[in-house]
Amino acid sequence: MQQSERTPVDVAVGVLIAPDGRFLLTSRPAGKVYAGHWEFPGGKVEPGESIEQALRRELHEELGITIGAAEPWRIELMDYPHARVRLHFCRVHAWRGEFEMREQQAMAWQTLPVQVAPVLPGTVPVLAWFAAERGHVGPTHRG
């Protein structure tokens, strides 16, 4: 089957933005595809869930936080060797709770250019959107 013929998996992605403009990236845990790559946190949308419900559940399960409003931002379709995913990026400016890395992943508050590496391919478009919004010129990440 051609990559473009695969049914995409819907994924809710949280772009957590701190008051100072930094954004949160987390590493993919050991045992997952692209382990060690940095991405915006989130996960698969389960049947019957809205994007916001999935994001709220995933960020609580993975990070131990409860998010405020999730503002739909953009949708990006990515073809990975293992899956075709439809990434639903939502901006999140408010959350409660202490961050707990419940999947033994790492977290890093970043700005442009991102200092952590490697960056997951699905994260790269978001960095470009930030660069356009923020007037950043030059590379958005290493590698």
Could you report the per-residue pLDDT of 79-93, keeping only the tens digit for each? 999 999 999 999 999
Beta bridge partners of 88: 12, 75
Going 12 to 30 to 39 to 123, the CA torsion angle's sign is negative
Residue 58 inside a domain? The answer is yes
Which residues sit opposite 82 in a β-bridge? Answer: none
Cα 59 to Cα 63: distance, rounded to the nearest angstrom: 5
Q: pTM of the predicted model, to two decimals? A: 0.93
Whether 143 is in a domain gets the answer: no
Q: Would you say residue 140 lies in a domain?
A: no
Dump pLDDT digits (tens) for 35-81: 999 999 999 999 999 999 999 999 999 999 999 999 999 999 999 99
Alpha carbon distance 46, 115 (integer Å)? 32
Output the pLDDT for position 1.
44
User: Do residues 40 and 11 lie in contact, with contact meaning Cβ atoms separated by under 8 Å?
Assistant: no
Print the domain residue range for 9.
Answer: 3-134
Q: Does the residue 141 lie in any domain?
A: no
Residue 142 lies in a domain: no
Residue 4, pLDDT > 70, answer: no
Report residue 11's pLDDT band, with 50, 70 and 90 as the boundaries: very high
Phi, psi of 127 (to 5 degrees): -60, -40
Kindly report the CATH number assigned to the domain that includes residue 71. Answer: 3.90.79.10
Q: Answer whether residue 19 is part of any domain.
A: yes
Give me the number of domains the chain comprises. 1
